[in-house]
């Protein structure tokens, strides 16, 4: 909500239209002819996100640290299903043959975002303890350069932004957005005060989540001890 209001997206006219028209030159310039992309609703959104004349490639770089499989070597693997709804990625220990989609090595403060069905809003920040983990090829790994990872995470998870990303997907059975289109996505930045608030709130959320998990593990251990005593 902070980011939406900070970018003025809450004031946009996003009313669906039953009909509209678009000059052929605009279609030709964009190189696409799908009606959904040229709706006034989506064009208003694109104009608002383009106000700073920035794209994601201007604030983050695409990391391509290739994972090399080594027989018998264990590693922690992050797949799309491991990303939670609060921007945290779980993982699973792989001790046998590596999954075929195990592709990218991640580092702390990387932001991973799914390129498959981006409408699902599956993005996460890599934590310090996840240094060197491996993620699926279904993710794009972004290393923030001029933006806080927390802000990039919230931006990529905005429903309106995910809706825009979804318009760039191809294929029907396994719709995905190319990393080229992802990096060309426009991005607008709020003022410094709102940026600081977003970072603070995201970090507080992560801290609360970690504490909750620790308390849950502690409770489970206490129950197990109580059962064994009986």
Residue-by-residue pLDDT tens, the chain, 230 positions: 999 999 999 999 988 888 899 899 988 988 888 889 999 999 999 999 999 999 999 999 999 999 998 888 899 999 999 998 889 999 999 987 888 899 999 999 999 999 999 999 999 999 999 999 999 999 999 999 999 999 999 999 999 999 999 999 987 788 999 999 999 999 999 999 999 999 999 999 988 888 887 888 888 888 888 888 76
CB 3 within 8 A of CB 153: no
DSSP percent split of the chain into helix, strand, coil, nearest 5: 40, 15, 40
Q: What is the pLDDT of residue 30?
A: 86
- pTM: predicted TM-score of the whole model, two decimal places: 0.89
Range of the domain at 185: 2-229
CB 143 within 8 A of CB 107: yes
Domain count, the chain: 1
Q: What is the pLDDT of residue 230?
A: 65
Neighbours of 136 (CB within 10 A): 21
Cα 104 to Cα 65, 66, 109, 178, distances in angstroms: 5, 5, 15, 16
Q: What is the pLDDT of residue 221?
A: 83
> Which residue bears the tokens 């993982």?
91
Query: Among 209, 106, 122, which residue's Cα sits nearest to residue 162?
Result: 122
Q: Where are the alpha helices (DSSP H) in the chain?
A: 2-6, 24-30, 40-49, 56-59, 149-156, 159-166, 179-183, 192-229
Q: What is the pLDDT of residue 173?
A: 80
CATH of the domain at 26: 3.90.220.20
């Amino acid at each position: 909500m902070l980011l939406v209001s900070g970018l003025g997206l809450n004031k946009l006219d996003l009313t669906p239209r039953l009909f509209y028209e678009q000059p052929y030159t605009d279609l030709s310039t964009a190189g696409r002819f799908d009606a959904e992309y040229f709706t006034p609703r989506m064009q208003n959104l694109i104009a608002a996100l383009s106000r700073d004349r920035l794209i994601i490639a201007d604030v983050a770089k695409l990391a391509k640290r290739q994972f090399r499989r080594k027989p018998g070597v264990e590693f922690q693997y992050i797949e799309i299903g491991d990303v939670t709804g609060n921007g945290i990625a779980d993982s699973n220990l792989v001790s046998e043959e590596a999954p075929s989609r195990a592709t990218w090595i991640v580092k702390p403060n990387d932001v991973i975002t799914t390129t498959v069905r981006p409408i699902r809003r599956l993005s996460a920040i890599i934590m310090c303890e996840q240094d060197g983990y491996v993620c699926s090829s279904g993710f794009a790994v972004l290393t923030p350069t001029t933006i806080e990872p927390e802000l990039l995470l919230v931006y990529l998870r905005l429903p309106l932004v995910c809706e825009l990303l979804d318009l760039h997907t191809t294929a029907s059975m396994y719709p995905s957005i190319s990393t080229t289109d992802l990096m060309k996505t426009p991005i607008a930045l709020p003022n410094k005060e709102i940026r600081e608030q977003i970072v603070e709130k995201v970090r507080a959320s992560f801290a609360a989540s970690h504490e909750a998990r620790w308390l849950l593990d502690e409770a489970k251990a206490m129950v197990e001890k109580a059962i064994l005593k009986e």
